[in-house]
Structure 1
Amino acid sequence: MDSAELLDLLGNANRRRILRLLAHKPCYVTEISEYIGVSPKAVIDHLSKLEEAGLVESRTDDQRRKYFSIARNLRLEVQVSPYRFGTKSAYPASRGLDISTCRHLTIDVSHDEGDDLTDVTRELKRLEQLENELSMAQRWVQGRLTEVRERLSERVEDDEGDGRLYAEVISALANGARDVDAVSREVEAPPELVEESLSWLAERGVAERDGDEWRLSE
């Protein structure tokens, strides 16, 4: 399920309340019904949709009572800015990922392998602090991105009069779009207009073409 569908699914307040409850403990239908104040039938319908999306899973205990719990970690981001609107979902990386190989990453990625309560508590505290720091850094980056796109748009408008489109095309290339169709989908503009924009950028040394592929100039 893509991020836009997840956003629609989580737009329902009762589904969010169900997930909030399940984040504390596994529950069966009657418990959930009493907690959120809706009928068991409605709860079953919500759980069915959440299961179908892979957010919730179930198991049956010895008394044949069906318990529901959250199936996996998921991060869903919504970005709204003067230059971009979009959603993005991300799942946790595998434990085998060596994050130290990311050459632009400057954070301390060491971790404590201890198993006693003190060691695990210390590691939890460190990761909670790191998550807060990364959140702050992300907010800073988003603010700077908007400022830079604004400056870029103003510079292009001086020559062409449609700076926002050119700024979006440049952002699409920076995000990995490599051909006209990919850039067109990213900026939601006709391919013909995107082709003209890319050619204009190439004339000014901002972008370069290699066959059917485009990229930003070094």
Structure 2
Amino acid sequence: MLEDENVSRMLDILGNKNRRRIIMLLRERPCFVTEISDLLMISPKAVIDHLQLMEREQILSVRYDLNRRKYYYLSNDFQIVISPEAISNAESEEMPASAHNEGDARGVAVAGGARAAGDASSKPSAKADIGRTLGCLSDIRYLMESRTELLSDLKALESEVNDKILELKTSCKEIIGSETELNLVLALAGYETSAEDLSQLLKTPVTEVAEGLRGLEAKGIVERKGSLYRICE
């Protein structure tokens, strides 16, 4: 069981909808930043901020593939269970004794009437609850089947991306001459971004990123628009 301080921190992390979405995605499989950004439609900078926070809290860990892409995955899966008994006991402890006595008296007075009313309405209510439950389960089954299909398509697409990256590395050595330039064009293939964000994403000094971008600009591979860089069309 977590201590109160740890529970508070965990609830603060999970209180953010996008962080919950990232955790749900990483439960399926490891992902890299641009993949998370594209799948969840969150800006890369926001994704990086969320990932770094959860990495500091040791919820996530990282690993690198053969193309030196940084993958995030859940280092520790977890469940948060809120016990109704615990809430009830906590409320009871805070309730004055007089309130307990009044509640007991009211309970005795209305017990017969409440039981009769409950008996009269239990059957229709139970049927409605069962129907609602089956409807929810049907929706969940459909969504899970759709998710499986999407993940299968995504896996095939990722394989194609890896093949193209390998082709880029082997057949374009004369144009993309350094690992920094390769990492830059791969990052910019997904979206426009600034030199500062690229530095943070690639864990590379800004000066080295700026030098690589200037070289790619000179070769006509990358162009600058304001503070953002993108692949030339």
TM-score (norm 1): 0.50
Question: What SS does the corresponding residue of 2:173 show, helix, strand or coil?
Answer: helix
Q: Which residue of 2 aligns with 1:84?
A: 69
Contact 2:176 2:182 in 1 (8 A): no
- In the TM superposition, what is the alpha-carbon distance from 1:199 to its structure 2 partner? 2.2
Runs of 4+ in 1 over 3 A off after TM superposition: 70-73, 115-121, 174-177
Mapped to 2, the partners of 1:134 and 1:55 lie a distance apart of: 30
Residue 49 (str. 1) matches residue 33 (str. 2):
no
- The aligned amino acid for 1:181 is E
Deviation, 1:208, is: 0.7
> Which one-letter code corresponds to 2:9 in the other structure?
E
CA RMSD, 1 decimal: 3.3
Secondary structure of 1:53's aligned partner: helix
DSSP 3-state at the match of 2:185: helix
The letter of the residue matching 2:139 is E
Instruction: Give 1:206's aligned amino acid.
Output: I
Match of 1:151 in 2: 167
Instruction: String of CA shifts for 1:50-105, please: whole Å, max 9, x gaps.
Output: 4421289xxxxxxxxxxxxx98983422334223113389xxxxxxxxxxxxxxxx
In the comparison of the two structures, how many residue pairs are matched?
136
Structure 2 CA distance for partners of 1:120 and 1:130, relative to 1, 3 Å: same
Q: Deviations over 1:99-118 (max 9, x none)?
A: xxxxxxxxxxxxxxxx9455
Identical aligned residues as a percent: 17
The offset of 1:120, in angstroms, is 3.3
SS of the equivalent of 1:132 reads helix
Secondary structure (helix, strand or coil) at the match of 1:138 reads: helix
Q: Mark the CA change 1:141 to 1:210 in structure 2 (over 3 Å): closer, same or farther.
A: same
Report the CA distance shift for 1:44/1:123 in structure 2 as closer, same or farther (over 3 A). closer
**1:152: Cα distance to partner?**
1.8
Q: How does 1:7-22 map to 2 (within 5 A)?
A: none
| Corresponding residue of 2:217 | 202
Q: Distance in 1 between matches of 2:15 and 2:227?
A: 42
Report deviation, 1:126: 0.9
Letter in 2 for 1:155: S
**Cα distance change, pair 123–44 in 1 and its aligned pair in 2 (3 A):** closer
Structure 1 unaligned runs (5+)? 1-42, 57-69, 90-114
Could you give the per-residue CA deviations for residues 128-170 of structure 1, whole angstroms, max 9, x where no partner exists?
10111122223223322222222222233234542x3223101
The amino acid of 1:52's aligned partner reads: R
**Aligned residue identity for 1:171:** L
More helix by share: 2
Q: State how 1:99-138 maps to structure 2 within 5 Å.
A: 116-117=131-132, 118-138=134-154
Judging changes above 3 Å, is the alpha-carbon distance between structure 1 residues 156 and 52 closer, same or farther for their aligned structure 2 residues? same
What residue ranges of structure 2 are gaps of 5+ in the alignment? 32-62, 75-128
Once residues 168 and 192 of structure 1 are traced to their aligned partners in structure 2, the CA distance between those partners, rounded to angstroms, is 15
- Say if 1:129 and 1:72 are closer, same or farther in 2 by CA, change over 3 A: farther
